[in-house]
Chains A and B, each alone.
Chain A
Amino acid sequence: GQNIDQPTEMTATEGAIVQINCTYQTSGFNGLFWYQQHAGEAPTFLSYNVLDGLEEKGRFSSFLSRSKGYSYLLLKELQMKDSASYLCAPMDSNYQLIWGAGTKLIIKP
């Protein structure tokens, strides 16, 4: 079957760094997406990894290990506006995104 595993909730302090881990199992693999979703809003694209390694984009970085079925999203210099849910979504062999429940990130001052 297809499965996504992320922590349900994480708490971090403003200005700090947080790493959100994701393990996945899919039927085939065509890359992995990370989305940010604020409460009551639609997801917005953060990153896409298809090859192993780290992709850096400003304060956000995403890492992928295909052999381990593992990815993480690293958020640096946390700001209050980063409080949101973060969704790890691998793409299967049919180019369908597989969604988990996401990780709710709470930022405290």
Chain B
Amino acid sequence: GAVVSQHPSWVICKSGTSVKIECRSLDFQATTMFWYRQFPKQSLMLMATSNEGSKATYEQGVEKDKFLINHASLTLSTLTVTSAHPEDSSFYICSARIREYEQYFGPGTRLTVT
């Protein structure tokens, strides 16, 4: 099956710093990638939809200047959390879509901001 990787799998950073998370589709090309955030015991929250070569589409309430998304190629999308604060601590998950009915999730990145 298709494989999606995320790096890093976990990261601890200090408040005010920026963190970049990479999402790669390893054996397929993904025209669309999604970024989710999940707080403990809550549902997955879609943050943004990323299409290769174009600007990401952010969901309502998600600050695009704080969560920078770059989809530079058909196999790579990055999410940068800028000026991170403790409330940004969460589980960030990406997924890559091959076609409408077929998308694969990365293993997730646990971010802790101290």
Q: Give Cα A44 to B93, complex, Å.
A: 12
Q: Which of B42, B44, B46, B101 has the most CB of A within 10 A?
A: B44
Q: Give Cα A100 to B106, complex, Å.
A: 19
Which of A31, A48, A100 contacts B43, CB < 8 Å? A100
The number of chain B residues touching the other chain, given as a range, is 10 to 19
The smallest beta-carbon distance between B40 and chain A, in angstroms, is 9
Q: Give Cα A46 to B110, complex, Å.
A: 23
Q: Is the CB of B108 within 8 A of A87?
A: no
Given contacts A30-B100, A48-B101, contact A99 B107 (CB under 8 A): no
Q: Is the CB of A91 within 8 A of B101?
A: yes
Interface size on A, residues (CB 8 A): 19
Q: Give Cα A52 to B71, complex, Å.
A: 37
Q: CB-CB < 8 A to B105: which residues of A?
A: 42-44
Q: Give Cα A97 to B45, complex, Å.
A: 10
Contact with A along B17-56 (1 / 0, CB 8 A): 0000000000000000000000001111110000000000
In the complex, the chain A residue whose C-beta lies closest to that of B4 is: A42
The chain B residues found within 8 Å of chain A, CB to CB, are 41-46, 91, 93, 100-101, 103-108, 110
Known: A42-B108, A95-B100. 19 other contacts (CB 8 A): A30-B100, A30-B101, A31-B101, A40-B91, A40-B108, A40-B110, A41-B107, A42-B93, A42-B105, A42-B106, A43-B93, A45-B104, A87-B43, A91-B100, A95-B101, A96-B46, A97-B46, A99-B44, A101-B43
The chain A residues found within 8 Å of chain B, CB to CB, are 30-31, 40-45, 48, 50, 87, 91, 95-97, 99-102
